[in-house]
With several copies, the nearest count.
Chain A
Amino acid sequence: MTATVSVRLFGAFRDLAPAAVVELPLPDDASVATLRAALEAHGRGHWPAFQPGLLAVSVFASAERVLREHEPVPRDGELAVLPPVSGG
């Protein structure tokens, strides 16, 4: 089964999509690594300014925590891709 997940975009990724969110079709049992590959394919196909190198140093997260690469993508709640941070 495949369902669409929404991934929120922040920082430099925010400039790639006006709504700051991207919808990606993903198998139900997809891991975070699979989500990463799907976002990379989407970026290369749709966003001329997409930087694969920035994605490589980014992580995926829920509203609660940063996700591990090999865990399944959680299907409840928010998802986001986080480029390197620079708060403060």
Chain B
Amino acid sequence: MSMADALACAIADAAAGALPDPAVALRHVAAPGFGGTALFVGTIRDLNHGRAVVGVSYDLYDALALNVFRRACEEAAAAFGPAIRLYVAHARGRLAVGEVAVVVAAGTPHRDEAFRACRAVIEAVKHQAPIWKQEHYADGDSAWSEGCSLCGGDAHAAPVPAGPA
């Protein structure tokens, strides 16, 4: 199997009825030589910082997000492979409480590599991928989440320039 087949990255368009699917992820990372699969599923919570949440809208810079997903998978494959299969999918659009925002799966011969690769990839998705979350509250208000600055969080980024606060 080629490395290209072994790594799959996707964006699921909620407006078209698609959401990241754990079953698809598990099927993608399965192989007869693999004994361990680790999966992470991120879902929309009904409460954040004490406010009742009724839904979340995700905005993505699709092209760069897919590049970040792919690089995260390649780095995990270099660290925990070469016998490894990885899957990442993230939702775009508006999701309700309990719906799946992100799925990451890693299949490997043994469990330690699967857990570590899965964790490394979800951390990259959370901290490096160009994805923004707008929370919709029960009181009708909406707000973009405070996030994780990419300044300095990526080898490609320069430090934050001194600027107006």
Contact = CB atoms under 8 A, between A and B. Distances in A.
The answer to A–B direct touch (Cβ < 8 A) is yes
B32 interface: no
Contacts of B144: 11-12, 83, 86
Contact of A87 (B102, B151, B160, B165): B102
B156 interface: yes
B34 interface: no
A69 B147 contact: no
B160 A10 contact: no
A53 interface: yes
A46 interface: no
Interface string A42-60: 0000000000110111110
Given A10-B60, A58-B150, A84-B150, 15 more contacts: A10-B130, A11-B144, A33-B161, A57-B151, A57-B160, A59-B150, A59-B151, A61-B64, A78-B63, A82-B150, A83-B132, A85-B131, A85-B132, A86-B132, A87-B131
Interface of A: 8, 10-12, 14, 32-33, 36, 40, 52-53, 55-59, 61-70, 78, 80, 82-88
